[in-house]
Amino acid sequence: MPLWTLIGLLEGKQTAAWPLRDGEGGQAGFIGMPRYHPERCGEGCKACAEACPTHAITMRPADGGGERLEIDYGRCVVCQLCTEACPTQAMTPSSDWAFGVRRREDLIWQERSDSPSDAHAKARNGFRRSLHIRHVDAGSCNGCESDLQALNNPFYNLHRLGIFFTASPRFADLLLVTGPVTYAMLNPLRATYEAMPEPRWVMAVGTCAVSGGVAEGGYACGHGLEGVLPVDVYLPGCPPNPAAIIQALLMLLDRMPQRVRGGQLVE
Amino acid sequence: MTLSSDMQLLPEQLGDAASRLRDRGGRMQMVYAWYPEPDRLELRYVVTEPHQHAFGVWICKPQGAVPSLAGIWPLMSWYEREVTDLFGVDFHDHPQPQRLVLHEGVSPVRPPFDPNYPPGATLAAEPVKQTIPEIAGAQADVQLLPFGPVRADVVESAEFVFFYIGEAILHYQPRLFFKHRGMEKRFEGLPADRAVILAERVSGVGSVAHALAYCQAAEAAANCTVPPRALFLRVLLAELERLYNHLHYFGHLCHTTTLKVGEAEGKLLEERAKQLNSRLTGSRFLRNLLTAGGLRRDLSPEGWLGDELEKLRQDFSTYARRMENTGSHLDRLITTGKLGRDVAFDQGATGPVDRASGLDRDLRRDHPYAAYGQLPLSVAVRKDGDAHARAQVRMAETETSIALMQSALSLLPDGPVRADFAVRPRSEGLGWAESPRGTLFYAVHFDSGGKLARVKIKSPSFSNWRVFPYTVHETNMMDYAINEASFGLTIAGCDR
């Protein structure tokens, strides 16, 4: 019979240095949210808005008359159709994945970004070291679950950051929700939230949980957590890669800064 | 495959036709409904004829209730219940005429696929207990355990009901479809190309299989020929999907047998495979590549992917050999969750589950698509039907999958990856793929404006969830998690 423990020890450490130290964290080649370059937009062009399957890109009346693009990354399923439809490369593929934000408005592209809001920072101080998460699948495609499960593989090893998934909502600090919230999961989701002790936080993981995603508007789905539960961190993505989930969790704990404001990555 | 050679049947002829199909060694695949006109509903039965590449289609126009075929083909039970829930068609003499896809307690004003269903109306759920069979002679010591829909760990939502005494499970009933998103209806009205984005998001870990089956259905409807390079790259993508799914399976199976290092090793191999996916395509789930007519952009696997796959193959082969030599692991798998060949056939098992119970079926070989017809493929079959047989089939498939990718890489032709694709109005097509979990069908109908009028999705987990409880009744609690893991089920595709 193989000596599994010895084999495991001989394998050595397989865990990524990131986020404790610099490194690409296994995300090489990953294509994230499309990046918007308004200066390249063609006059009156609507190609990206017409290509977008989830109305993340829409035409809105501009202040000085005419129309302007509104880009809501909270609705983006990262399908890249806009980057292919755009004739002038105003929408380009990028590696921008660290899209966890505290305010929903920060997912909407803005010319000039507001300064960060750190109003909640103090309240969370007590949880800076450790966090227990109750995950609820409210009708996802299982893509988000697949990469949430990856967080506990040896490469990401979430435990080393003091973050744990827990079975009981009674032990949980954070409710992590995936999926567009189907009619049948609405009551179980609310019951789970009600069972959590205060203080409690909610994170919407994946574009479905943020805004409904591709299933939004059907007979069985709502608009994600919108109007269902108060959300503390929004993380769009389809699905968000494991590093993005870790970044958003550490951001909730004030151990990492929010990197996106006004729909743009800022350093 | 266009569905031109269809057979029209009257409702009263269905029973005879179904019996004859069984007698000549065919197989019933599914039934679905659609509205060719707002006031005319049609049922489509998809069947496998022995030794034929194309699938047969029976068309039936119901007048009132339609005879249920569940008595002849037990696997039809779930399809008929789904048609009743979503289209309001009655099947008479149905052995289990309860709600399936819509939960009990849901009372829509009209069936959701009725053309007069109010647009924008969302279903509401009243918490109602599901109908559970009574256990004859049940005494006070029979316990009822409802578990879910929110369960331990990061898992998909479903409720499992156990009747048990001590360790012994008397009866088990899963309640699925908490995750029913109404995805099939979301396709309606979409143009062919945009619908691929939706198909990729029906089942996350089956993104390629779903997109591929959809694209092939649309291409059949449009009579579109996909360029050779795209056909080989599609095989590569489909096998990369099988690879990370099967690696995940072993990590999870070791978790249930408490082989901790084996669990870590399996999950690490899965992570390596997903990172290869990301490096090759930009997506860990291989999304945003397939389109009707080929691929959206070319890929460059040449010169590096083969070496990476070979490293993965060597590490997997060592890992697999170790699992097969670990007594404590094997003790928990051998004889666990036995699925006999007859039950597997009658209840409609598919994929590795089917092949572990002695049924030698694989769409890649029997109904080749993409470039599979040009590549060597050996289909792994085991006869024991237990958890170990299911693991062994997947082990063999993992190695076959890497070998297939190496062949595809060595034969990969140059050239374009996308052909012009133009929808023909009022056309229809059937597409299929052998996903990591088995048979996946997409039936696609376009309307007079070239937009999608109906998309029916038959996912492999819909089939295998139907089968799974037969291996749980009269077993014990300790084996349950191991047995469930050995089936490798997902819920998103089943619930849609």
Is a pLDDT exceeding 90 seen at residue B143?
Answer: no
Tokens matching residue B22: 């069984």
Which residues of chain B make contact with A28, given a CB cutoff of 8 A?
A: 275, 278-279
In the numeric block, which tokens belong to residue B465?
């969830």
Closest CB to B205 among A78, A80, A142: A142
B257 touches chain A (CB under 8 A): no
- Is B154 within a domain? no
> β-strand B40-48 against B27-37: which pairing, if any?
antiparallel
Instruction: Tell me, yes or no, whether B259 lies in a domain.
Output: yes
Please report the pLDDT score of residue B200 as a whole number. Answer: 97
The domain boundary, picked from B57, B92, B127, lies at B92
In-domain check, residue B442: yes
Residue A122 pLDDT level (bands cut at 50, 70, 90): very low
Query: Residues B150-154: what's their mean pLDDT?
Result: 89
Domain boundary among B22, B57, B92: B92
- How much is the pLDDT for A24? 77
Question: What are residue B476's DSSP bridge partners?
Answer: B168
What gap in Å lies between CA A201 and CA B210, rounded to an integer?
35
Q: What is the pLDDT of residue A111?
A: 82
Residue A116: band (very low, low, confident or very high) from pLDDT cuts 50, 70, 90: low
Q: List the single residue in A with minimal CA-CA distance to B329.
A: A1
Same domain, B348 and B466: yes
C-alpha span between A242 and A146 (Å, rounded): 9
Q: Which residues of B touch A188 (CB under 8 A)?
A: 149-150, 157, 178
Cross-chain Cβ contact B271/A150 below 8 Å? yes
DSSP secondary structure string, A12-53?
Answer: ------TTTS-S-TT-TT---SPEE-GGGPPTT--HHHHH-T
Cβ–Cβ below 8 Å for B201 and A77: yes
Percent of chain A whose pLDDT exceeds 90: 65
Least confident of B4-8, B103-107, B225-229, B383-387: B4-8
Mean pLDDT, residues A92-112 taken together: 90
Nearest to B352 by CA among B209, B174, B489, B190: B489
Nearest CA-CA distance, residue A9 and chain B, Å: 9
Closest-CA distance, B207 to chain A, in angstroms, reads: 9
Domain boundary among B69, B92, B115: B92
Whether B201 contacts chain A with CB within 8 A: yes
Band of pLDDT at residue B138, cut at 50, 70 and 90: low
* A193 CA: distance to closest CA in chain B (Å): 11
Number of A:B CB contacts under 8 A? 210
The verdict on residue B292 lying in a domain is: yes
Report the number of distinct structural domains present in chain B. 2
Band (B132; pLDDT cuts 50, 70, 90): confident
Please judge whether B180 and A144 are an interchain contact, meaning their C-beta atoms are less than 8 angstroms apart: no
Which residues in chain B touch residue A53, judged by CB atoms under 8 angstroms apart?
A: 190, 194, 197-198
- What pLDDT, in 10s, does the model give residues A175-227? 999 999 999 999 999 999 999 998 999 999 999 999 999 999 889 998 999 99
In a domain, B217, yes or no: yes
Q: What is the pLDDT of residues A123-155, one digit of tens each?
A: 555 556 789 999 999 999 999 999 999 999 999
| B160: chain A residues, CB-CB within 8 Å | none
Cβ-Cβ contacts under 8 Å, B157 against chain A: 136-139, 185, 188
pLDDT-derived band at B1 (thresholds 50, 70, 90) equals very low
CA–CA min distance B280, chain A (Å) = 7
The conformational region for residue B480 under phi > 0 = left, psi -120 to 50 = alpha, else beta, is alpha
> Considering only CB atoms, which chain B residues are within 8 Å of A81?
194, 197
Cα B310 from Cα B375, distance rounded (Å): 18
| Shortest Cα distance, chain B CAs vs residue A112, angstroms | 29
Residues in contact with B75: Cβ distance below 8 Å, sequence separation at least 6, in sequence order = B28, B346, B347, B348, B463, B466
Note whether B179 contacts A137, CB cutoff 8 Å. yes
Contact A234, A191 (CB under 8 A): no
Residue A184 has its nearest CB partner, among B152, B178, B492, at B178
User: Which residues form the domain of B19?
Assistant: 7-92
Predicted confidence (pLDDT) per residue in B461-474, tens digit? 999 999 999 999 98
Are B416 and B229 spatial neighbours (Cβ–Cβ below 8 Å)?
Answer: yes
Q: What pLDDT, on a 0 to 100 scale, did the predictor assign at position B269?
A: 97
To the nearest whole Å, the CA of B18 is away from the closest chain A CA by: 33
Best residue of A31, A33, A50, A142 to probe chain B, by most B CBs closer than 10 Å: A142
Min Cα separation B204/chain A (Å): 4
Domain assignment present for residue B170? The answer is: no
The answer to whether B108 contacts chain A (CB < 8 Å) is yes
| Chain B residues in contact with A2 (beta carbon < 8 A) | 322, 325-326
Mean pLDDT (chain B) is 93
Is residue B334 pLDDT above 80, yes or no? yes
The domain that holds B310 is classified in CATH as 1.10.645.10
Q: Are residues B68 and B200 in the same domain?
A: no
pLDDT tens digit sequence for B367-397: 999 999 999 999 999 999 999 999 999 999 9
Decide: helix, strand or coil at residue B92: strand
pLDDT at B214 over 80: yes
Residue B129 has pLDDT above 80, yes or no: no
Which chain B residues are Cβ-neighbours of A11 within 8 angstroms? 265
* Distance (Å) from the alpha carbon of B418 to chain A's nearest alpha carbon: 14
Decide if pLDDT at B406 tops 70.
yes
Shared domain for B391 and B288, answered yes or no, is yes
User: Which chain A residue lies closest to B108 (C-alpha atoms)?
Assistant: A219
Are residues B206 and B80 both part of a single domain?
Answer: no
Residue B127, domain member (yes or no) = no
CB nearest to B122's CB, from A79, A214, A222: A222
Gap between the Cα atoms of B352 and B329, Å rounded:
20
CB contact under 8 A, B181 and A215: yes
Angle between helices B460-467 and B76-87 (to 10 degrees): 120
Q: Are strands B452-458 and B438-446 parallel, antiparallel or unpaired?
A: antiparallel
Confidence of residue B3 (pLDDT cuts 50, 70, 90): very low
Strand order through the sheet with A233-235? A163-165, A131-137, A174-178, A201-205, A233-235
Q: Is B259 near chain A, with CB under 8 Å?
A: yes
Distance in angstroms (rounded) separating the CA atoms of residues B169 and A22: 51
Could you give the CA distance from residue B84 to residue B102 in angstroms, rounded to a whole number?
10
Q: Distance (Å) from the C-alpha of residue B15 to the closest C-alpha of chain A?
A: 34
Q: What distance in Å separates residue B490's CA from the closest CA in chain A?
A: 8
Q: Percent of chain B having pLDDT more than 70?
A: 98
Q: Which of B202, B279, B490 sits opposite A28 (nearest CB)?
A: B279
Q: Look at A106-120, B25-39, B150-164, B177-191 and tell me which has the smallest mean pLDDT.
A: A106-120
Cβ-based burial of B248 (10 A; exposed 0-12, middle 13-18, buried ≥19): buried
Instruction: Residue A36: count other Cβ atoms within 10 Å of its Cβ.
Output: 22
**B162: contact with A, CB 8 A cutoff:** no
Q: How far apart are CA A176 and CA B445, in angstroms?
A: 38
**Which residues of chain B neighbour A184 with C-beta distances below 8 Å?**
103, 106, 125, 149, 177-180
- pLDDT at residue number A42: 85
Note the pLDDT of residue B150. 92
Within 264-303 of B, beta carbons closer than 8 Å to A belong to 264-265, 267-268, 270-271, 274-275, 278-285, 287-288, 296
Nearest chain A residue to B183 by CA distance is A215
This prediction has a pTM of 0.95
Residues of A in contact with B325 (CB under 8 A): 1-2
Predicted pLDDT at B2: 43
Smallest Cα distance from A206 to chain B, Å: 12
Whether B399 has a pLDDT exceeding 80, the answer reads: yes
Domain membership of residue B312 (yes or no) is: yes
Domains of chain A: 35-97 (3.30.70.3270), 122-260 (3.40.50.12280)
Within 10 angstroms of residue A5's Cβ, the number of other Cβ atoms is 10
pLDDT 10s digits, B433-442: 999 999 999 9
Provide the CATH number for the domain around residue B57: 3.30.460.80
**B418/A contact by beta carbon, under 8 A:** no
User: In A, which residues are within 8 Å of B121 by CB distance?
Assistant: 219
**From A27, A138, A154, residue closest to B267, measured CB to CB:** A154
B491 → closest Cβ in A142, A155, A191: A142
Contacting residues of A for B281, CB less than 8 Å apart? 29
**For residue A115, what pLDDT band results from cuts at 50, 70 and 90?**
low
pLDDT value at residue B279: 95
